[in-house]
Each structure stands twice: as structure tokens, then as C-alpha cells.
């Protein structure tokens, strides 16, 4: 008699389990997906946020990772007893999340100029020798003596050096010493009664430490007459002179007699 209630209870449990298994499972509606975009700086370097529906200052600050106070200060959203600007946000409003970062000036590389070598400026000497070119070959020879009285002028190309001098018959050259290196022009005016046998103007480049000697030649002109002293008087000329004097005296006596 006791087995029937137990069997009935077992059948009821089996039926209940079967109903649970066979009932269709009703899936819950999926929650709406929230798309969170990573804040990206705009062309001007600022990060902004466009207000959406149901946004508040609190939700925006939590979403963008800043404090509500920072959000208010960046967008001048006032909060006082009369009104709160955060209560008047509108859809599409652009809020500043982060200002443009300050530009760090790029250091200008300093280029050190390499020292430039200063060209060495030295001095030299120019010597002038004016000689009596007896054979007219424009070459100075040992037997040809120097000529005194030649006027020498020396000028460099920059006109910073202007030197003059007079030649003598000592046999030594007329030298211009310790003059700066450079380009020079030399001119010589020979004494009166001489004719040049070489060019009287000469150009040269003087280097540091150089000694340049330039020879200028001249010879007596055809108009120059030798000067004879008492030691060089000719006996023949003396005799001729006496004869002329005697003839003159004889003519004088002849004229007196005829008168």
C-alpha cells in the first residue's frame, strides 16, 4: 500500500524535470554596446568631446579621465547658487578636454666657425743700380761705372708705399729695405746729357724675404763734350794759339805803319 504514493511522487519529479528541460530558454535582450573612442588631438593639437544625449559633466569627466573641476575650468562652466552651466549642456556641444600642449622650442645647433689662418705678410728689399752702358748692350759689366744723379721712384700697386732716392757713383746700389711684399712699379729719370739703353720703367712682384736688384743703363749723349783740365792740354793747341796771337800782333803793326 505504501509503494503507490512513492511511485506517484517519483513520476511527478520526473515529469517536472522533463518540463524544465524541454521548456525553451528565453534569451535576455543584449545590453546596448557603448562605443568609447580614444581621445585624439585635432589639427590644432587640442582634445575635444562632442556632447551626446544624457551626458553630464560628471559622466564626461569620468569617461575622458579628467576631474569635473578641470572640465569646468577648461570650458568656463560656472557653478553658483543661481545656475550651473553643467545643467545646460546640449547635444553637439564641443567641450575642451585638453589644451594644445606648449611647443618646446627646438634648440638651434651652434656651429663653431673654424679659425681662418691669417696669411703671413713679410717684407723684402728692392735695389736699383744705374750704370754707364758704354757699349750699349744693356748689360752691366765690371768695367762700366755707376752714374750719379739718377732720380728713382718706387711705388706699390696700393699706393701705400711711395719711396724716392738718388743714385751715386760709389758703386753701391740704391736700396729700399724693409718694404712690404706686393706688386711694385719702379721708374728712373737719368741725368741730363744721357740717353737710356734700357727701359726706365719696370714692374715686379716682391715676396717676403726677397732682395731684388734691377739694373738700369744709360750712356752719354752725342751733345756731351769731354772736359779737359790743365793736365790734359795739348802742346799743339798751345803752338797754334801762339801763332794766332803773333799774326794778330803783326797785322796790328802793319796797319799802324800804313796809317
CATH of the domain at 195: 2.60.40.10
Residue 52 lies in a domain: yes
pLDDT of residue 22: 61
pLDDT above 80 for 174: yes
Say which DSSP state 38 is in: P
- Whether residues 148 and 75 fall in one domain: no
Residue 8 lies in a domain: no
pLDDT of residue 37: 54
The interaxial angle of helices 68-75 and 57-64, nearest 10 deg, is 110
pLDDT above 90 for 146: yes
- Whether residues 147 and 215 fall in one domain: yes
In this structure, which long-range contacts are made by residues 152-155, counting pairs with CB atoms below 8 Å and at least 24 apart in sequence? Answer: 152/128, 152/186, 152/187, 152/188, 152/189, 153/186, 153/187, 153/188, 153/189, 154/126, 154/128, 154/179, 154/184, 154/185, 154/186, 155/184, 155/185
pLDDT tens-digit series, residues 107-125: 888 777 777 766 657 899 9
Average pLDDT over every residue of 209-215 = 92
pLDDT tens-digit series, residues 61-114: 888 888 888 888 888 888 775 667 677 788 999 888 888 777 777 788 877 777
Q: Which three cell numbers stand for residue 224?
A: 756731351
CATH of the domain at 85: 3.10.350.10
- Whether residues 189 and 127 fall in one domain: yes
The domain total for the chain is: 2
- Whether residues 87 and 134 fall in one domain: no
Residue 78 lies in a domain: yes
- Whether residues 127 and 215 fall in one domain: yes
% of the chain at pLDDT higher than 70:
77
Q: Give the pLDDT band (50/70/90) at residue 144.
A: very high
Residue 250 lies in a domain: no
Provide the residue range defining the domain that includes 164: 123-219
Residue 245 lies in a domain: no
Residue 34 lies in a domain: no
pLDDT above 50 for 225: no
pLDDT of residue 228: 40
Average pLDDT over every residue of 172-187 = 94
- Whether residues 169 and 203 fall in one domain: yes
- Whether residues 149 and 196 fall in one domain: yes
Residue 236 lies in a domain: no
Residue 206 lies in a domain: yes
Average pLDDT over every residue of 28-38 = 53
Amino acid at each position: 500500500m505504501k509503494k503507490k504514493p512513492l511511485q506517484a511522487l517519483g513520476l511527478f519529479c520526473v515529469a517536472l524535470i522533463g518540463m524544465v528541460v524541454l521548456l525553451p530558454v528565453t534569451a535576455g535582450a543584449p545590453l546596448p554596446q557603448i562605443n568609447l573612442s580614444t581621445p585624439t588631438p585635432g589639427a590644432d593639437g587640442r582634445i575635444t568631446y562632442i556632447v551626446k544625449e544624457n551626458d553630464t559633466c560628471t559622466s564626461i569627466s569620468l569617461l575622458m579621465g579628467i576631474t569635473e573641476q578641470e572640465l569646468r575650468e577648461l570650458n568656463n562652466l560656472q557653478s553658483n547658487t543661481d545656475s550651473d552651466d553643467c545643467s545646460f549642456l546640449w547635444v553637439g556641444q564641443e567641450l575642451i578636454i585638453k589644451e594644445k600642449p606648449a611647443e618646446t622650442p627646438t634648440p638651434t645647433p651652434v656651429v663653431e666657425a673654424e679659425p681662418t689662418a691669417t696669411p703671413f705678410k713679410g717684407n723684402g728689399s728692392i735695389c736699383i743700380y744705374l750704370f754707364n752702358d758704354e757699349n750699349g748692350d744693356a748689360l752691366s759689366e765690371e768695367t762700366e761705372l755707376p752714374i750719379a744723379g739718377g732720380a728713382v721712384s718706387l711705388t706699390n700697386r696700393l699706393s701705400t708705399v711711395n719711396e724716392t732716392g738718388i743714385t751715386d757713383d760709389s758703386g753701391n746700389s740704391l736700396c729700399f729695405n724693409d718694404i712690404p711684399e706686393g706688386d711694385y712699379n719702379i721708374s728712373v729719370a737719368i741725368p741730363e746729357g744721357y740717353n737710356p739703353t734700357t727701359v726706365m720703367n719696370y714692374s715686379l712682384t716682391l715676396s717676403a724675404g726677397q732682395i731684388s736688384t734691377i739694373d738700369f743703363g744709360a750712356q752719354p749723349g752725342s751733345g756731351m763734350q769731354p772736359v779737359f783740365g790743365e793736365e790734359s792740354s795739348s802742346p799743339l793747341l798751345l803752338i797754334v794759339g801762339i801763332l794766332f796771337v803773333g799774326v794778330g800782333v803783326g797785322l796790328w803793326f802793319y796797319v799802324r805803319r800804313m796809317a
